C-alpha cells in the first residue's frame, strides 16, 4: 500500500461530509458493492475487479455513505482494503442521527462493531475518536462502545436533540489511562462523583460545550482528579446552586461562559462567585456574567490575558495585575465597574472594547478611561462600543497610542467627536479605521444619508491629519 500513515474515516448518514472529490469512481464502486450480493458469473466479477481499484479516498467515501456500518463486513472489496489500511487508522469519526430509541441502539451497535474490529486488527493504533449522536425523541445513549477504544489520546463526544449520555458512559472512562484531550458537547448524566470514578491522570485539555449538566461540583472534582490539566473551557453554564471554586496547580487557561440572561435568572444568580486559585493561570476569559456576580483571583501575578463580559455590575476581586498585557471588556457595564477593572490593570499594552455599553446610557469621557493605563500601546473599538465614549478637554497625552476602530456599513458610523479629540487633544500616534468593503458599498448602506455624511466628515478629518489616519479594508 502506498497510502498515508494517518486516516480519518467517517461512518454516518450525514450527506454534508464530502471529504474527497472522487465522486464518479465512488458511484461506480457503490453500485458494484450493491450488486456484489447478487448472483453473477465469474467473468463479470473479474471484470469488476480489474475496472475498479479502491484507493484510500474511495474507501473513506464508502464509509461515509454506508448507513449501517455492519454492512461493511459483507463487502469483500472494502474488507480487503480495510486489512491493508489497518496500520494507518488512527482517527475515527461517527456521525449518526436517530429517530427513536430503537434506531439509536442500532447506531450504537454499528459503532461498536467498527471499534471492535479496529481493536482486533490493530490494537493500540486508534488515538482519536469523535462520536456525534442526535435523536429526535427523548433518549439516553448507553455508550457501551467506549469499552473498546482503550488507546485513545483524544475523545470528542457530541449529543444533540433530545439525547443525553447515560450514567454507564462514565464508568467506562477508567480504561482511558492515556487520554490527553476530552470534549463533551450536549447533556449528560450528572454525578458529583463521576470524575472520582474515572481517573484522568494524563488529561491536559477539557471542554464542555453548551451543556446544562455541568455543575460546580463536577468542575471542582475534575480539577482534583486531573493533576496535569492545563486548559479548561465551559460554555452554557447555568448551575448557580453554589459558588464555583477552582483550585489547580497546573491550570494555564480557563474559559467560562454563562447563560444568565433574563430577569428571573439574574435574580437567582446575583450572589454567584467564581473563585480561582491557580498559580500558573495565564489566560482567563469569563463571559455572560449576570448583574452582581463576582470573580475572585488569588494569583493575579501570573495573568497575561483577561477577557470580561457581563450584564450590569461585575465585581473583580483581586490585587493589581502588574503582568497583564491584554484586556478585553464586552457587554453592559456600570461606570464604576469599568473604572475599577482599569485601575487594576495599569500595565496593559492592548485594550479591547467589544459590543460595550453603559447601563445608564451616559457616555464615558475617553480621557478618564485611558488615564490609569500608563503602558497602553493600542486600543480597539467596534462601531457599537465607540458611541458610549465621548471626547473631553483633558490634556492627557497618548503620543505612542494607536487607536483601531472596527466599523461596517450596517453599524453606526464612527463618532467623529471622540476621534477628533483623540487626534487633537490626546495627540495619539495613529488612527486606523477597519471597514468591511462589501458592507460599505451595499445598497442598504448607501441609502443611509446620515451615515454618508459621517463618512464624508471622516474623510475631511483625514485631510487634516493625513499622516495619522489610515483606512484598512477587511
Burial status of residue 136 (CB atoms within 10 A of its CB: 0-12, 13-18, 19 or more): middle
Helices (H), 211-330: 216-225, 263-268
Task: Give the highest mean pLDDT range of 161-170, 301-310, 409-418.
Answer: 301-310
Closest C-alpha to 172, from 148, 153, 192, 189: 148
With residue 197 as reference, give the H or E element that holds it: helix 194-197
pLDDT band at 49 (very low <50, low <70, confident <90, very high): very low
Say what the pLDDT of residue 221 is: 86
Say what the pLDDT of residue 261 is: 61
Query: Quick one: what percent of the chain has pLDDT higher than 90?
Result: 21
Closest C-alpha to 283, from 316, 318, 327: 327
Q: How far apart are CA 372 and CA 321, in angstroms?
A: 13
Say what the pLDDT of residue 229 is: 94
Q: How far apart are CA 414 and CA 404, in angstroms?
A: 11
429 DSSP 8-state letter: S
Q: How far apart are CA 73 and CA 419, in angstroms?
A: 68
Closest C-alpha to 385, from 360, 405, 368: 405
72 DSSP 8-state letter: G
Report the residue count for the chain: 474
197-236, pLDDT tens digit by residue? 556 788 999 999 988 788 888 898 889 888 999 999 999 8
Please check whether residue 173 is in contact with residue 152, taking contact to mean a CB–CB distance below 8 angstroms.
no
384-412, pLDDT tens digit by residue? 787 777 766 566 677 788 999 887 655 55
In this structure, of 8-17, 188-197, 213-222, the range with the lowest mean pLDDT score is 8-17
∠ CA 246-248-254, rounded to 5° = 65
- φ, ψ of residue 255 to 5 degrees: the values are -120, 130
Please check whether residue 452 is in contact with residue 446, taking contact to mean a CB–CB distance below 8 angstroms.
yes
Closest C-alpha to 52, from 62, 41, 67: 62
Burial status of residue 74 (CB atoms within 10 A of its CB: 0-12, 13-18, 19 or more): exposed
Say what the pLDDT of residue 9 is: 43
pLDDT band at 379 (very low <50, low <70, confident <90, very high): very high
Amino acid at each position: 500500500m502506498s497510502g498515508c500513515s494517518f486516516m480519518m474515516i467517517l461512518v454516518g448518514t450525514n450527506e454534508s461530509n464530502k471529504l474527497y472529490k472522487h465522486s464518479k469512481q465512488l458511484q461506480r464502486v457503490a453500485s458494484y458493492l450493491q450488486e456484489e450480493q447478487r448472483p453473477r458469473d465469474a467473468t463479470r466479477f473479474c471484470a469488476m475487479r480489474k475496472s475498479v481499484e479502491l484507493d484510500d479516498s474511495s474507501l473513506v467515501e464508502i464509509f461515509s455513505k454506508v448507513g449501517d456500518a455492519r454492512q461493511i463486513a459483507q463487502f469483500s472489496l472494502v474488507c480487503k482494503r480495510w486489512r491493508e489500511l489497518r496500520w494507518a487508522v488512527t482517527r475515527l469519526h461517527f456521525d449518526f442521527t436517530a429517530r427513536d430509541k430503537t434506531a439509536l441502539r442500532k447506531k450504537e451497535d454499528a459503532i461498536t462493531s467498527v471499534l471492535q474490529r479496529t481493536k482486533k486488527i490493530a490494537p493500540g493504533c486508534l488515538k482519536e475518536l469523535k462520536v456525534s449522536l442526535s435523536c429526535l425523541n427523548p433518549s439516553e445513549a448507553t455508550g457501551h462502545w467506549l469499552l473498546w477504544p482503550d488507546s485513545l489520546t483524544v475523545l470528542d463526544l457530541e449529543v444533540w436533540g433530545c439525547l443525553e449520555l447515560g450514567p454507564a458512559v462514565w464508568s467506562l472512562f477508567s480504561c482511558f489511562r492515556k487520554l490527553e484531550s476530552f470534549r463533551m458537547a450536549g447533556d449528560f448524566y450528572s454525578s458529583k462523583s463521576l470524575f472520582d470514578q474515572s481517573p484522568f491522570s494524563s488529561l491536559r485539555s477539557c471542554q464542555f460545550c453548551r451543556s446544562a449538566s455541568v455543575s460546580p461540583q463536577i468542575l471542582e472534582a475534575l480539577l482534583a482528579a486531573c493533576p496535569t490539566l492545563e486548559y479548561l473551557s465551559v460554555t452554557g453554564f447555568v448551575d448557580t446552586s453554589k459558588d464555583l471554586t477552582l483550585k489547580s496547580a497546573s491550570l494555564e487557561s480557563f474559559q467560562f461562559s454563562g447563560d444568565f440572561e433574563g430577569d428571573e435568572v439574574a435574580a437567582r444568580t446575583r450572589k454567584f462567585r467564581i473563585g480561582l486559585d491557580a498559580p500558573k493561570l495565564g489566560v482567563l476569559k469569563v463571559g455572560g456574567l449576570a448583574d452582581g456576580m463576582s470573580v475572585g483571583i488569588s494569583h493575579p501575578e501570573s495573568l497575561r490575558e483577561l477577557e470580561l463580559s457581563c450584564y450590569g455590575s461585575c465585581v473583580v476581586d483581586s490585587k493589581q495585575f502588574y503582568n497583564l498585557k491584554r484586556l478585553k471588556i464586552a457587554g453592559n457595564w456600570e461606570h464604576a465597574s469599568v473604572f475599577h477593572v482599569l485601575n487594576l490593570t495599569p500595565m496593559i499594552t492592548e485594550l479591547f472594547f467589544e459590543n460595550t455599553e453603559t447601563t445608564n446610557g451616559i457616555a464615558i469621557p475617553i480621557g478618564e478611561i485611558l488615564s490609569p493605563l500608563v503602558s497602553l500601546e493600542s486600543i480597539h473599538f467596534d462601531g457599537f462600543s465607540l458611541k458610549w465614549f465621548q471626547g473631553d478637554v483633558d490634556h492627557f497625552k497618548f503620543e505612542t497610542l494607536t487607536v483601531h476602530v472596527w466599523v461596517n456599513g450596517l453599524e453606526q458610523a464612527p463618532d467623529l467627536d471622540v476621534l477628533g479629540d483623540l487626534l487633537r487633544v490626546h495627540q495619539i500616534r495613529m488612527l486606523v479605521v477597519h471597514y468591511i468593503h462589501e458592507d460599505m458599498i451595499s445598497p442598504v448602506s448607501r441609502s443611509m444619508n446620515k451615515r454618508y455624511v459621517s463618512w464624508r466628515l471622516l474623510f475631511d478629518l483625514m485631510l487634516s491629519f493625513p499622516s495619522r489616519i489610515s483606512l484598512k479594508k477587511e
